[in-house]
Amino acid sequence: MSFLSLTDADREAMLAAIGVSSIDELFRDVPAGVRFERELDVPPALTESELQRHLEELAAKNVVDEVCFLGAGIYDHYVPAVVDAVLQRGELLTAYTPYQPEMSQGVLQAIFEYQTAICELTGMDVSNASGYDGTTVAADACFVAKHATGRTRVVVTEATNPQVRQVVKTYAPGFGLEVVEVPHDGGTTDPDRVRAAAEGAAAVIFQQPNFFGCLEPAPDLAAAANDAGALPIAHVDPISLGVLEAPGAYGCALAIGEGQSAGNAMSYGGPHYGFLAARSDYIRRLPGRIVGETVDLEGKRGFVLTLQTREQHIRREKATSNITTNQTLLALAGLVHLSLLGPQGLAELGETCMALAGYARQSLADAGLEPLFPDKATFKEFAVRTGRDARLAVTAARAHGIYPGYPLGRDYPGLDDALLVAVTEKRTVGEIDRLVEALSR
């Protein structure tokens, strides 16, 4: 086994040093009744070339050559080559949580830089080092809000990503929280409905742009929550934040989101990273790792994990969360991508997506596929009516090499004919024209 260094001679010498005569003897504390006595019934070992081939064969059974207009939370953005190059640096790739800061200044500084980038994007004061994904950070945010407000209800808009809502609902009973959903009105959420629901609630979660791709009246939603003493929590797409206002600028208490679109491959859903940022009021309630600046013995700047008394390894059952392993590598990818883009690049990326999506929306409308929510402004994603069960539209388009989008009927009964179409900077006018043709056939 080429991952193992011990030769037969090594093994013998080591057993002798231990003072046992066989490897089996090392397991003498394992009671006979719970010993596993046969060989593991798992597929046979493969050498590296066989393994690669086997995985290539599996990969080839997936269909990735259809032009991708699927979004619904995960987007086909370009991942720059520098991102991969950085992530493949063994010193970063194969390190773990930087418990020992003097061994880990690289990772620690990178997280500090990541936290800064997330704060800048969202207009917040503090960010953690990452959560699992864009759904779990929503549950985390609820936990923060519950303890910050002492209230036991959270409000989520129906136009928020259904998976985010599902995860919040799965976590809520354990937290002692009740979840209330506010329906949308024609694709966006009515601030008055939010204001009513937020009364006595710990938090209001909404998404901007929302799951339909529409731009919510986010400042009004945040104000409605604030009016009711509930914490406004915006779920945002990092790629939109060169163009769209930062949640911190319109009064949100927390900002969360799925980081995949900045720096990560789609990878059938993971691993990605969730980000979570907050106003400084909540710093001691945040879940997960936070890196802080300090100095060494000689006064030189350095970075450490900080405010650890929030965390499970110190506070145990009183911790702000049970998280330990997080998504640092993927968050690092986000940092590298954002560093390459800079403010100007991020704004241009948003504009390019908007321009292409606008063209797609208009071209589809021209071809008779009406927008589902015609008066709403959208960012890189929008819903159209396909005039039939949208799943059939998907099948039809796929026959032409186009994966046209996500059938909203999967989550929104009554919207069975609606298809959610995402357009990233990787799409071309030619591909959009093919989409239009495929859907209007």
Partner 1 sequence: MKLIYEKSQAGRRGIGVPKPDLPVPEVPDELRRKEPPRLPELAEPEVLRHFTQLSTRNFGIDTGFYPLGSCTMKYNPRVNERVVGLPGFAALHPLVEDDAAQGALELEWELQEILREVTGLDAISLQPAAGSQGELTGLMLFRAYFADRGEDEQRRKIVIPDTAHGTNPASVTMAGYELTPVRTDARGNVDVDDLRAKVDEHTAGLMLTNPSTLGLFDENIEQIRDIFHGAGALMYYDGANLNAVCGISRPGDMGFDVVHINLHKTFSQPHGGGGPGGGPIAVRESLAPYLPVPVVTRDGATFRLDYDRPKSIGKVRAFSGPFGVFVRSYAFMRAYGPALREMSEVAVLNANYLLARLKEAYDLPYDRLCMHEFVLSARSLKREHGVTATDVAKRLMDYGFHPPTVYFPLVVPEALMIEPTESEARETLDAFAEAMLAIAREAAEEPETLKEAPHHRPVRRLDEVRATKQPVVRFRFDEHERPSGVGTHQLEAPKGA
Ligand X SMILES: Cc1ncc(COP(=O)(O)O)c(C=O)c1O
CB-based contacts of 423, cutoff 8 Å, min separation 6: 69, 353, 356, 357, 360, 380, 381, 432
> What is the rounded distance in angstroms from the CA atom of residue 385 to the CA atom of residue 408?
10
Closest contact distance (angstroms) between CB of 324 and ligand X is 4
The nearer residue to partner 1, 199 or 261, going by C-beta atoms, is 261
Strand 178-182 and strand 153-157: the pairing is: parallel
- Applying CB under 8 A, among 147, 169, 285, 426 the residue interacting with its own copies is 426
Task: State the binding partner of 116 from partner 1, ligand X, its own copies, none, CB within 5 to 8 A by kind.
Answer: partner 1
CA 297 vs CA 102, 168, 294, 415: distances in Å: 11, 44, 10, 63
The nearer residue to its own copies, 85 or 249, going by C-beta atoms, is 85
Residue 51 touches partner 1, criterion: CB under 8 A: yes
Residue in the shown chain whose Cβ atom is closest to ligand X: 325
Closest contact distance (angstroms) between CB of 85 and its own copies is 7
> Which residue from 409, 405, 408 is spatially nearest to 397, judged by alpha carbons?
405
Closest contact distance (angstroms) between CB of 201 and partner 1 is 19
Residue 434 touches its own copies, criterion: CB under 8 A: no
Number of residues that bind partner 1 (CB under 8 A): 213
The nearer residue to partner 1, 149 or 161, going by C-beta atoms, is 161
Containing H/E element for 108? helix 105-122
Residue 436 touches partner 1, criterion: CB under 8 A: no
Mark 86-105 with x for binding to its own copies (rule: CB under 8 A) and - for no binding: --x-x---------------
Residue 400 touches its own copies, criterion: CB under 8 A: no
DSSP code at position 245: P
Residue type, 245: E
The nearer residue to its own copies, 169 or 426, going by C-beta atoms, is 426
Residue type, 302: G
Site residues (CB under 6 A) for ligand X, limited to 319-348? 324-325
Burial of residue 347, with CB atoms counted within 10 A of its CB: 0-12 exposed, 13-18 middle, 19 or more buried: middle
Number of residues that bind its own copies (CB under 8 A): 14
Site residues (CB under 8 A) for partner 1, limited to 328-347? 328-330, 332, 336, 338-347
- Applying CB under 8 A, among 160, 210, 261, 321 the residue interacting with partner 1 is 321
Residue 53 touches its own copies, criterion: CB under 8 A: yes
> What is the rounded distance in angstroms from the CA atom of residue 133 to the CA atom of residue 260?
8
Give the three-class secondary structure for 371. strand
DSSP 137-189: HHHHHHHHHHHHH---EEEEETTS-HHHHHHHHHHHHHHT-EEEEE--BTTB-
Q: Which residues bind its own copies (CB under 8 A)?
A: 2, 48-49, 52-53, 78, 80-81, 85, 88, 90, 340, 425-426
Q: Which residues bind ligand X (CB under 6 A)?
A: 324-325
